[in-house]
Amino acid sequence: MDDRRAEARRAMEDATGRVIERASAHAHDLAERARDLTRETRRQIQRVRETSLPSWTGDVRTYLREHPLQAIVAMIAVGYVLGKLARRA
């Protein structure tokens, strides 16, 4: 009986070790991805700070001309969200 318990305990410890090892690897991957996203966000914020307002309006007009369907869908989505928020207020 003790042999079976010891074997079960070893099997459980092995399985627990594998789970911890995988969780650690996933946590490392997530931390790496978070660092990458932080760097990219900082770059984007810096780019936005350096861009003038007339340049922004030109970029928006160009986007609207090149992607009219996506722009319409985005406007509908924003309107929907604003409508929901207005109802709660």
Tens of pLDDT along 1-47? 678 888 888 989 888 989 999 999 999 999 999 999 999 999 999 98
DSSP H helices in 1-89: 2-50, 53-66, 68-88
pTM of the model: 0.45
Task: Give me the mean pLDDT over the 68-88 stretch.
Answer: 94
**Phi and psi, residue 51, nearest 5°:** -90, 135
Which pairs count as long-range contacts for 17-23, CB under 8 Å and 24+ apart, including other chains? none
The pair of structure tokens assigned to 80 is 């929907």
